Amino acid sequence: MSWFPGAYQSKFGQILATVCEPYLNFFRRFIPPIGMINFSGIVALVVLNLAKSGLFSLFQLIIRIIY
């Protein structure tokens, strides 16, 4: 949202920040910004994608065992 001026002040921006900031803050504690670039958001997306893939594989395995 930092790419769009005033995005944090909009109602949508406030709702999105309320949902996303606790998850992003977890990664910000461990990954410091390098210069002016903060990579914690990218790492958070990668972890979320890996969790999604893992859960999808687990559900496929369960379905194969049941049927």
* The overall pTM is greater than 0.85: no
Give the confidence band of 38 by pLDDT, cuts at 50, 70, 90.
confident
Residue 60 predicted with pLDDT over 80: yes
Number of residues that make up the chain? 67
When pLDDT is cut at 50, 70 and 90, the band that residue 67 belongs to is confident
Q: Is the pLDDT of residue 3 over 80?
A: no
Tell me what pLDDT residue 28 has. Answer: 92
Cβ-contact 24, 41 below 8 angstroms:
yes
The mean per-residue pLDDT over the stretch 43-54 comes to 96
